[in-house]
Amino acid sequence: MSRRQAHDASNLPTKLPSNSPIPVGWGLLAGTLLGAVGASFAPWVSRPPAALVLTAPDLAEFVKFLPEVRDGSLVVYRLLFLLPLFVYTAGLPMIIYARRLAYPGWIRWPVLVLVIPLSLTLLPPVWSPGVLLSAEFRAQTVAFVFCLSLLVATRWLGRVPLRPLTTLVAFCSVIAPALAFWQFFVVRGAVARAYASPVNPGWGAWALLVGLALILFGALCVARDRLAEPAPD
């Protein structure tokens, strides 16, 4: 190595600039997007007639009409089917606004727009102001308003330190699918009897698990990255 090359090498930065994007942020975003799709529009119960396909939000409504649930012999917490959708929908604005992850605008704005239909999916299929404020659907209405409010909280969300944020997202991404799967297997037998055929988790449920794996991997990498320290104002 020449003297000039040695001099140049000694002047190389020892760490990335504080405003450099973290590559693993793409894993966090991809996992959250995949989880949101699995928790909203993808089938959890799949059958050839479209009318028999049930997504997680569909299950939250469908289980109310199962005979075992109506006569009280089967206890179901139907809102747990919506919990992963709420977690991922609320997580998307938090992740996309994180300064350290530095997503480009052509990624940020489509993701923020996607939050709107995802938030609407939290609501019951047919609703009116009176229905939304009723005791049965009030929690879903609050979740809907909360997710939409995050779209305008740009300044506050951008200041959230990355490491606590990813820890929170990872923790909720474990708990919410676990509870939703628990309820799925609670009602699996009753749904199978209603369909007169065995019921297995559809690809939406598996998408939820793959998304969870990506989120956990991304959160672990962020936790190990020196750029996860809070950015100075």
| Residue 231 is assigned to a structural domain of this protein | no
| Residue 18 is assigned to a structural domain of this protein | no
Mean of pLDDT values over 107-126? 92
Q: How many whole angstroms from its chain centre is CA 86?
A: 7
| Residue 10 is assigned to a structural domain of this protein | no
| Residue 189 is assigned to a structural domain of this protein | yes
Report whether 187 contacts 76 (CB < 8 A): yes
The domain containing residue 79 runs over which residues?
23-226
Domain count for the chain, please give it: 1
Mean of pLDDT values over 100-108? 85
| Residue 3 is assigned to a structural domain of this protein | no
| Residue 15 is assigned to a structural domain of this protein | no
Mean of pLDDT values over 195-216? 92
Report whether 57 contacts 44 (CB < 8 A): no
Q: Strand ranges (DSSP E) for 49-92?
A: 54-55
45: which strand partners?
54
pLDDT for residue 154 is more than 50: yes
**Cα–Cα distance for residue pair 8/220, rounded to 1 Å:** 34
**pTM score, whole prediction:** 0.84
